Amino acid sequence: MTAGDPSAGGRLDRFIEAIEVTAAWFLAAVTALTFVSVILRYFFNWAIPDTYDFSRLLLAILIFWGMAGAGYRGEHITVDLLWGALGPRMRRAMDLFSNAVTLFAMAMFALMMWLKVLDTREEHVLTFDLRQPVWIYYLVAWLGLAASVLLLAVRVYRMALRPEALEPPGHSPSVE
């Protein structure tokens, strides 16, 4: 697999799409669980066991998986006050620096989350009603963070050495 290998880019694009689809499925699960829970509570005065635990754990999972796609595409919240006043070369340098800092911070976050997964498993933390192990949900959330670190590393690499690879097909950078 070389830098010019078109199949390498295709595999990466499929990987990114799989991450985004995974985040979307978790969003659908949280939405469905919340909707069904409200209907059951309102009309039947009955609650799904562990709804609160499942909702908060699945919400964390979908946020961490969603961060991977947003971080790679650069679709997160930014403040461009200084960036807008700079020339193209300084903008690129600032983008590269900020993405490298984000990569470092995300890597540290993933490391700390991994330690939390291990601690939660060791302490045998369980959900309230069904007594399911919580560490499994933490592990799935950590996988989203690990994907985020991987995609941010790819973004920093592409930004430094192949900036044209970050542009979507048919997109030309706008001049501001």
- How much is the mean pLDDT over the chain? 84
Flag whether pLDDT at 170 surpasses 60.
no
Number of domains in the chain: 1
Residue 173 lies in a domain: no
| pTM of the predicted protein model | 0.79
- Domain with 16, as residue range(s), is 6-164
pLDDT at 8: 62
Residue 60 lies in a domain: yes
pLDDT at 72: 81
Averaged over 120-142, what is the pLDDT? 94
pLDDT at 77: 66
Structure tokens at 129: 């009603």
Structure tokens at 122: 């060791």
State which amino acid sits at residue 133. P
Distances (CA, A) of 163 to 98, 109, 136: 15, 26, 37
pLDDT at 20: 86
Residue 42 lies in a domain: yes
* Range with lowest mean pLDDT among 1-5, 8-12, 55-59, 108-112: 1-5
Residue 156 lies in a domain: yes
Residue 1 lies in a domain: no
**Rounded Cα–Cα distance for residues 141 and 167 (Å):** 28
Residue 169 lies in a domain: no
Q: Which of 59-63, 97-101, 137-141, 158-162 has the highest mean pLDDT?
A: 137-141
Residue 172 lies in a domain: no
Flag whether pLDDT at 105 surpasses 70.
yes
- Interval 48-75: pLDDT, tens: 888 889 999 999 999 999 888 888 877 6
Flag whether pLDDT at 1 surpasses 70.
no
H-assigned helices in 126-175 = 135-161
Averaged over 99-123, what is the pLDDT? 95
* Per-residue pLDDT band at 111 (split at 50, 70, 90): very high
The full 3-state SS of 68-120, as one line of letters, equals HHHHHHCCCCCCCCCHHHCCHHHHHHHHHHHHHHHHHHHHHHHHHHHHHHHHH
* Per-residue pLDDT band at 161 (split at 50, 70, 90): confident
Instruction: Give phi and psi for 46, each to the nearest 5.
Output: -135, 140
Count Cα atoms within 13 angstroms, Cβ side, for 176: 10
Residue 20 lies in a domain: yes
- Check residues 81 and 174 and name the one with the higher pLDDT: 81
Averaged over 144-160, what is the pLDDT? 91
